[in-house]
Amino acid sequence: MSDNQDCQPDPEILIKLANARMPFGKYKDHRLIDLPEPYVVWFSQKGFPRGKLGDMLQMVYEIKVNGLEYLFDRLKSD
């Protein structure tokens, strides 16, 4: 497999991430990708939750700090 193929995001994961919602706290029911960057950075400093939510928040963190939010513009469903 070439390096170029290794860098391709999995569309299925991106769609799930685009529509995943925060299950608790101040931003309950907000899309994870729409969480304010400082909030996601706080999680990165304090520690992401365990499990699927933590994995997804860690992906959101990487997306936000690298300015890739535009990838989700067409993926969000109402």
More confident residue, 35 or 9: 35
Where does the pLDDT of residue 2 fall: very low under 50, low under 70, confident under 90, or very high at 90 and above? very low
- Give yes or no for a contact between 48 and 54, defined as CB atoms under 8 angstroms apart: yes
The runs of H, that is alpha helices, within the chain are: 3-6, 11-19, 37-46, 51-65
| Helices vs strands, H then E, count in the chain | 4, 0
Range from 4-8, 26-30, 32-36, 62-66 carrying the lowest mean pLDDT: 4-8
Dump pLDDT digits (tens) for 18-39.
899 999 999 999 999 999 999 9
The whole-number pLDDT of residue 34 equals: 93
